[in-house]
Chains A and B, each alone.
Chain A
Amino acid sequence: QKEVEQDPGPLSVPEGAIVSLNCTYSNSAFQYFMWYRQYSRKGPELLMYTYSSGNKEDGRFTAQVDKSSKYISLFIRDSQPSDSATYLCAMRDSSYKLIFGSGTRLLVRP
């Protein structure tokens, strides 16, 4: 079993929709949670990070962490075609090593 599970998609939504992306994990020692966005033919870039449980909002993006369920989410409000990309969750414990999910491909249709 992988340490981090993520549905590969693709997820196709109309412009303006609310998008929900999710990851589950098995290691209860994880305490730092991140979302990276990767456009085609580009390297991943950090979008959001959260420490421990709770919510964090940044513009149209909201990251949620539920440590009791070992479940993290990224919500995108008012989705735009420019949001079309692969979204990777990542997490780590107190070490520097990041564990990545396999990524969910999102397509926002105009």
Chain B
Amino acid sequence: EAQVTQNPRYLITVTGKKLTVTCSQNMNHEYMSWYRQDPGLGLRQIYYSMNVEVTDKGDVPEGYKVSRKEKRNFPLILESPSPNQTSLYFCASRPMGTERENHEQYFGPGTRLTVT
């Protein structure tokens, strides 16, 4: 089954304790990205990657890191989490090809993070 998986689905942590949220896709997609979703603000892009070893900042990259060592994996790293990073996080992937495929962005199930 074609899918994007994220782990963990729920995480409660304390300020300053480094954490990693994993993301993996099995569709051989080149493009992967991370979003955070907050009430009233919608989905905002944190980082994206257009291929292995190619990453770039989105709209809200402060406090986050990513890496793309393999095509299928795109982990999100919070080196020193703070309470304002409490949010719902989504990983997404899509192919970079024909016009239709450019719009077919597949989302993971989400990770709800609480930082106290």
Contact = CB atoms under 8 A, between A and B. Distances in A.
Contacts of A97: 45, 48, 58
Contacts of A46: 103-105
A105 to B, nearest CB: 11
Given A46-B105, A96-B102, A41 B40 contact: no
B110 A43 contact: yes
**A-B pairs with lowest CB-CB distance, top 4:** A43-B107, A102-B42, A100-B43, A100-B42
Given A49-B103, A88-B43, A96 B109 contact: no
Contacts of A96: 31, 48, 50, 96, 102
Nearest to A97: B45
Contacts of B105: 46, 98
Interface of B: 4, 31, 40-45, 48, 50, 58, 90, 92, 96, 99-100, 102-105, 107-110
Contacts of A101: 42
B109 A42 contact: yes
8 contacts: A42-B110, A43-B92, A44-B107, A46-B104, A51-B99, A88-B43, A96-B96, A96-B102
Interface residues of A, number: 22
Interface in A90-110: 90, 96-98, 100-103
A97 to B, nearest CB: 7
A61 interface: no
B112 to A, nearest CB: 9
